[in-house]
Chains A and B, each alone.
Chain A
């Protein structure tokens, strides 16, 4: 292992290790993945903290995200300005939250933001409809979609305002056995 890498200073690596759930090796591996998306844009020397942002199209073409119906929302939630273009910091952040070592409540917080398509801090019926359509690739009929959305709101809405707030969502998702 050794300290032979010249991409980051030791302090930077230690700071990343404190701020994410990754080990040193994993952070370096993630850096190389980031770089592989656009080798000409990403420098090999991050000691001066260059401000390199990769456009969403490159992020969304990663094999891990390519097949994910929510990849655009994921990139938007973790990007700096909400447009899907990510710096290395955002990239590390995103994978740290998505990794298996992140606790459920942290994941629940970000999951809520991902499913909140219009960014109004509530998951309303239109957000739910968009989610279902993304999940089933528009295979359900409109009646079925509305039935599903109604059932979801009925099940999870605790404060009865017709939409899901963060507390409703967390209360519901923390119990789910499949929420990984």
Chain B
């Protein structure tokens, strides 16, 4: 477009020359001369010319363009008769009265939008255009000296500038919130265009004179930045994994089932971060910079096991080569720094262990707080019917079967609410419901007590068997404890389900009771098991993760003493075997595989956890395949040749078991948290497990399950899952913390071997790597005299915050009551 201006100028110059030179027809010559004059005047103001061309965009332009065409020739002729310099001002005066808007236009800065106008300029005939250009230039001259839109020749005053700025800001805000306005699209589009034109025009104007170029540059950068932000948002939404899958599940099964998958995805995110930490800061440095396999006894497969070390069965059991690798605690060397980077391995191991726990706590609590905010006002029954009417339809449903279920559930919900409303005046039914609920809870307690007693009984029996020698008994007696616990875990939840039908709660509340009861079942079983075992440490049970550690550890203590004794004997035998000439024995080269090995309880514990996780995964997958898939196949294909209708009758298709799956996920995560200190490979295994689990379960849900009978919204369940997760996190970090603080690490393996306590690595680092004053400060800070008041302060602040939050809630309630009373007054 700039070139066009030049062309025009060039041609005008040519014309001028032509006129001067050749003296063509007057009619044509005059305008050209005029133009030539005007151009000549303005030739030094190229920049302003361009501004003129670019700055005009308003509709008013059309107006004065036509006006100009009509009036232009005569007037300009008269104008150009005067002296150029004087006439400028006069012309400006005259024109300004007619065309205030045009002056506003000309204030516009350099902008691409002006180019449209430029193109539009080409439409009228060339003469008119040039006249317009002249006029613009003249007026621009005037405005260049700083005139306002309203007044004629006054400079832009401060307040007008401020007002202009305010308007521009307003328009910008309007553009930003345009999508929130409840207008029709047409209106929004036209308002948007108008506002954008306004902003573009005046943004340049606000930066005057020398700052103009810089301001225009700033505006351009702003626009680029906004475009970048928009592209980044586009990119971010494309990055969320599995979004389409989850949306599909939501439309078929409602938002409660989808909430499980969203929970699963969230867990996957957390595990990715834990994996990143353990992999990047523990496994990779040791693999790259630590001593290689086979250089140390702890890093080598012992001679005795070498033959079977590569077998698939051994590897599946995580022994053999898998055990003596970066996957487990025992492989790591206790050197303070490794490699040329002087990477502090033990410190890193310790900090990563503590860091994973800390990070998990932080993120769980942060998510809880976020959910609590979204929850809004909490339980509110003041709009029960209104909400049922206006919010019960789930607009995300896109499947006729689900829609049918939804209609049915809405109808039932209305009927229930009506019945409750009618019967709330009758007293008897409340008592009946209450009685039934008390009865149901009593039955649940009985079940729990029964299962606890059964476990106690079975454990005692198995101890008796062990005393008499396990060879005398068959498979059942040997595995009685395991089997009984698995069976209890399978059947008691179903029993709880049946009991809960007595209680007649809203399905969301019933789900919570169910979850709570299953939780209590598992914990209760655990504790009875421990109590039954108190006397007997030798029994290794796979269900007692924290206590597995205890008995492994205690067993180890014994073993350690024995091994240490053996090692001294062995070393002595080595020296005795090869009698050196000198009295000072040179270091004897022994293959690391042959050195007798001390017990490594941490690795054993890590292995237990890994085996548990793998078997848990296998069990889940097989249950899905058999319980859901085969059942669906059976129901579908055998329905033709069966006496009763399989699809509506007994087996029928399974519903997606939300509570079971959520609990499974939470317990699995608990195991990971407990075990990742001893087996850095656990988060990696879990990431893999969650990834495959997501695909498998999404497929299984869509293929084999049917929507539930009572579809309910999951809106308030999320914090419940988080609360359970937090509880499990707390429970699972206790054992690891206890071992770090109180139990001496194995003397022969792991990054902390040789120390009396694992946390000594911190004090060691403080001594060696930090300046001495730091150590002193830390010493003072860890003084109980300082820590206890600090803890007291935190407890007090918790109490204070709790009290203020309570008072806010009460104030909220008061205001609600007030509102209600005002309503009833009216």
Contacts and interface: CB of A to CB of B under 8 A. Distances in A.
Contact of A19 (B179, B385, B415): B179
Contacts of A172: 383, 386-387, 390
A36 to B, nearest CB: 15
Contact of B415 (A23, A96, A144): A144
Interface stretch (B399-407, B582-590, B659-667): B399-407
B814 interface: no
A73 B380 CA distance: 29
B407 A19 contact: no
A4 B390 CA distance: 43
A58 interface: no
A136 B410 contact: yes
Interface string A48-79: 00000000000000011011111000000000
A155 B84 CA distance: 79
B634 to A, nearest CB: 30
Nearest to A112: B390
B390 A24 contact: no
A80 B184 CA distance: 8
Given A21-B179, A135-B410, A67 B395 contact: no
A42 interface: no
A115 B390 contact: yes
Interface string A146-180: 01100110011011100000000100110111111
A177 B385 contact: no
Contact of A132 (B376, B397, B402, B414): B414
Contact of A66 (B384, B391, B400): B400
Interface residues on A, range: 35 or more
A15 B179 contact: no
Contacts of A176: 383, 386-387, 390-391
Contacts of A147: 418, 421
B193 A140 contact: no
B307 to A, nearest CB: 57
Contact of B400 (A67, A159, A177): A67
Contact of A103 (B180, B237, B418, B716): B180
A176 B391 CA distance: 8
A24 B417 CA distance: 45
Given A89-B186, A144-B418, A179 B391 contact: yes
B386 A96 contact: no
Interface string B136-171: 000000000000000000000000000000000000
A23 B393 contact: no
B487 interface: no
B234 A151 contact: no
A32 interface: no
A128 B389 contact: yes
A17 interface: yes
Contacts of A173: 386-387, 390-391
Contacts, number: 154
Interface residues on B, range: 35 or more
Contacts of B390: 111, 115, 131, 169, 172-173, 176, 179
Contacts of B826: 158-160
A23 B237 CA distance: 9
A90 B391 contact: no
Contacts of A25: 234, 237-238
Given A96-B179, A144-B415, A69 B393 contact: yes
Given A68-B393, A178-B392, A155 B182 contact: no
Given A148-B389, A155-B382, A176-B387, A63 B189 contact: no
A97 to B, nearest CB: 8
B645 interface: no
A140 B384 CA distance: 18
Nearest to A169: B390
B713 interface: yes
A93 B189 CA distance: 11
B400 A18 contact: no
Contacts of A131: 389-390
Contacts of B179: 18-21, 96, 102
B377 interface: yes
B389 A23 contact: no
A132 B389 contact: yes
Contacts of A17: 230
Contact of B414 (A140, A169, A180): A140
B414 A178 contact: no
28 contacts: A1-B234, A15-B189, A18-B175, A19-B185, A19-B192, A23-B237, A24-B234, A25-B234, A63-B398, A66-B398, A66-B400, A67-B398, A68-B395, A80-B186, A98-B395, A106-B181, A106-B182, A109-B182, A111-B390, A131-B389, A135-B410, A135-B414, A136-B407, A136-B414, A148-B418, A175-B380, A176-B383, A177-B376
Given A69-B407, A90-B185, A155-B383, 7 more contacts: A15-B192, A93-B188, A106-B182, A135-B389, A135-B393, A158-B826, A172-B386
Interface of B: 175, 178-182, 184-186, 188-189, 192-193, 230-231, 233-234, 237-238, 375-377, 380, 382-393, 395-400, 402-403, 407, 410-411, 414-415, 417-418, 421, 713, 715-716, 823, 826
Give the top 8 A-B pairs by smallest Cβ distance, nearest first: A67-B403, A89-B185, A151-B385, A136-B411, A23-B234, A178-B391, A19-B188, A93-B185
Interface of A: 1, 15, 17-21, 23-26, 63-64, 66-70, 80, 89-90, 92-93, 96, 98, 102-103, 106, 109-111, 115, 128, 131-132, 135-137, 139-140, 144, 147-148, 151-152, 155-156, 158-160, 169, 172-173, 175-180
